[in-house]
Amino acid sequence: MQPPLARRDGASPADPYAWLRHPSPEVTAYLAAERAYYDDRTAALAPLAQVILAELRDRTPDTERSVSVDHGPYAYYTVTLPGRELPELRRRMRSGEDRAEETLLDLGSLDSPYAATGVVEPSPDDSLLAYSVDLTGSEVYALRFRDIASGRDIATGQDIASGRDVATGELIEVESTYYTGAWSADGRWFFYTVPDHLNRPHEVWRIDVRTGERLLVLTEPDQRFELTVERSRSGAWIVITSTSRTTTEAWALPADEPDATPTSLRGRVDGVAYAAEHDAAGNRWLFVTNESDEEFALVGDDGLRIANAGERLHDVLAFGPAGDSGCLVTVQRVDGECRIRVLEDGPSGWRTRLELGPDEPGGSIRLGRNEDADAPFVTVVTESFTTPPTWWDVDLRTGERTLRHRREVPHHDASAYASEVVYAVAEDGWRIPIVVTRRTDTPVDGTAPCLLYGYGSYESVDDPWFDPTLLPLLDRGVVFAKAHIRGGGEISRRQWIDGHLLAKRNTFTDFIAAADHLADGIVDGRRIVGRGGSAGGLLQGAVYFMAPQRWAGVMAHVPFVDVVNSMLDTEIPLTITEWEEWGNPGIPEQRASMESYAPYLNLPDPQDRPPLLVTGAVHDPRVLVHEPAKWVAALRYSDPELGHRTSTSDRGSVVFRVELGEGSHGGQVARYAALAEEAEILAWALEVLR
């Protein structure tokens, strides 16, 4: 099959594929042609993909259970049954004789191959369930309320206690909502966020779950900001937070006064970010903020201030009932790793009672869900790229660990693998941590192939996470490496500051420096494949043209590659909210910076191009499908050897795996469909790495 060639619009010479931005039958036909070409060109890889899929399914238990979350007397969790793609939400009593499971919601019964939940919130008395579901991948969620006793969704006029329906009653449903939500203390009102036409959550509403009455609570008119709403861990407050990339404002209203006017906690100051935590034991608000410290400090409205030089503070949790002495749990970054500390207030001030770090080299630790502020323990999660996640309840006084949950991975021996951290050095002296993972019998003497992953945007902290889809690569002698490049947040806020806006090129040169360091005696420099998605897809597009000879192949998933045009288009999602990350093309200096690295505007010489795999999805609301489509179209048009590639591993080959049906920015959510999708991609990577 010959590769498809998209029509070029001669009326728009600077952007000849702009027509792909607007859905039409012609766009649909072009995307379908690209998918058909991908299916045809990768057909030879199908046997290998099937072998990999069998290995992945072999490491997937027939029945999968999630970690439980405590709420009142119940433990809530999900169960995916044998042969099923989508999970069920269940609960059981945490103690007592009757601990039978109740099924609250079966996503497999929604008659869709794709079903992702947004809000899943039991009411304060555990009699109702607020839940929202997206059935396409568009990240727009329909919100409903279920009477747990009857197992039916609530309709107007329904007697919730008895489950009786009134013949004229209509289902209480909000068709378009976003991720977050919170119950009032009496369980009558539910607060939720509503997106605008650009998918920006810009309003908070509350709905009476008995009558369906809806009232607007707060609106955010500034298009740089997005709203979230949640109940404080103390249970006393409803907290609404408006966040841009650099600035925060939070409001609170008493959970037992749902009709109260929200009160701003610290106002809004441009460039000042903060997160709020209510401390019932100390009867105060706590804030993690950069108001006076670039790497953030913990401050309280009673004058408390805690900061440690050289450490990036990320989070604080307050534990202890009102009137108790309580303690604080903080999360910070130290030398590129997470540290979780339990602090107690003593005669000479706050001191560290316990400190927790990763369990192994190249591993990670993070907070689990800790919704009960009165709990005597904090839940943490430890894992690595090859050690399955384990949830521990850590006693706040003694540090004793109690196993809460461990992800089951059949036929997996974590001791057969090893990770370590090595450091590359950028041209300006910045040290770049790289987590290197391999089978213990794979040499690191410059002979093994390597898959190098990177993201490097939004101050995202991408610590090592267990991913069973890595195992087929590792078992075939591939080294997996993850570079903590600038633009991310694994080290510090300075890491992000030096990797966004006019400093964005540092993200790309750091990734190239990481590859060069690995190629200097650790892995085979001729066999390195780069991989990243979304902003990490932009990273891959940038290094694809900046250092094409470095890569044996490049995988750019849902890549943000049309940076300038997208940041000019205020009628697509995430444009104005992204200006503080990427820049505003209306400012000449910022536009020039973006033009210097935008992959759509910077195509490598055809003879230098490594094989390229691109993915996209028609329902993706974050990186609209026209971005990868335009990039692929431009690459095809500029290739004089188009149609003469004999293999997807040939230099210059480009294949575009576009998801034409249900599917999200992150791919499939159904478990076996997700494994099949990844098996295809791994087969391509192994073919490129030979």
pLDDT digits (tens, 9 = 90+) for 638-666: 999 998 888 999 999 999 999 999 999 99
Distance, in Å, from the CA atom of 251 to the CA atom of 492, rounded to the nearest integer, reads 27
What's domain 273-408's architecture?
7 Propeller (2.130)
Q: What is the largest CA-CA distance in the chain?
A: 77
Distance, in Å, from the CA atom of 205 to the CA atom of 249, rounded to the nearest integer, reads 18
pLDDT recorded at residue 11: 81
Distance, in Å, from the CA atom of 198 to the CA atom of 193, rounded to the nearest integer, reads 14
Find all residues with CB under 8 Å of 29, minimum gap 6, and list them: none
Helix (H, G, I), strand (E, B) or coil at 338: strand
Distance, in Å, from the CA atom of 579 to the CA atom of 582, rounded to the nearest integer, reads 5
Predicted model pTM: 0.96
Distance, in Å, from the CA atom of 472 to the CA atom of 453, rounded to the nearest integer, reads 16
pLDDT recorded at residue 97: 80
pLDDT range class, residue 164, cuts 50, 70, 90: very low
pLDDT at position 536 over 50: yes
Homologous superfamily in CATH for domain 26-57+412-689: Alpha/Beta hydrolase fold, catalytic domain (3.40.50.1820)
pLDDT range class, residue 99, cuts 50, 70, 90: confident
Q: How far is CA 225 from CA 72, 215, 575, 578, 624, in A?
A: 34, 21, 11, 10, 20
Candidate list 484, 557, 626, 665, residue with the active-site label: 665
pLDDT at position 500 over 70: yes
> 683 phi and psi, to 5 degrees?
-60, -40
pLDDT at position 167 over 50: no
26-57+412-689 and 273-408: same fold?
Answer: no
pLDDT range class, residue 158, cuts 50, 70, 90: low
pLDDT tens-digit series, residues 431-441? 999 999 999 99
pLDDT recorded at residue 325: 74
Amino acid occupying residue 682: L
Provide the token pair at 407: 């992800």
What is the average pLDDT across 263-275?
98
**Of 138, 140, 246, 270, nearest to 192 (Cα)?**
140
User: CB–CB of 74/92 below 8 Å?
Assistant: yes
Per domain, the residue ranges of the chain are: 26-57+412-689, 273-408
Find all residues with CB under 8 Å of 552, minimum gap 6, and list them: 449, 526, 527, 528, 529, 610, 611, 688, 689
pLDDT at position 483 over 90: yes
534 noted as active-site residue: yes
Query: 205-217 burial, b if ≥16 CB within 10 A, otherwise e?
Result: bbbbbbebeeeeb
**DSSP codes joined into one string, 132-155:** EEESSSSS-EEEEEEETTTTEE-B
Helix (H, G, I), strand (E, B) or coil at 626: helix
Taking the CA atoms of residue 53, residue 56, residue 62 and residue 68 in that order, the dihedral angle to the nearest 10 degrees is -130
**Of 179, 184, 180, 78, nearest to 125 (Cα)?**
184
**Of 536, 538, 518, nearest to 528 (Cα)?**
518
Query: 318-336 burial, b if ≥16 CB within 10 A, otherwise e?
Result: bbbeeeeebbbbbbbbbeb
pLDDT recorded at residue 165: 46
pLDDT at position 163 over 50: no
pLDDT recorded at residue 589: 98
What is the chain's mean pLDDT, rounded? 96
More confident residue, 325 or 375: 375
Provide the token pair at 569: 């288009």
pLDDT range class, residue 323, cuts 50, 70, 90: low
Q: How far is CA 665 from CA 3, 303, 560, in A?
A: 25, 43, 11
Candidate list 147, 498, 562, 620, residue with the active-site label: 620
620 noted as active-site residue: yes
Provide the token pair at 300: 């309280």
138 noted as active-site residue: no
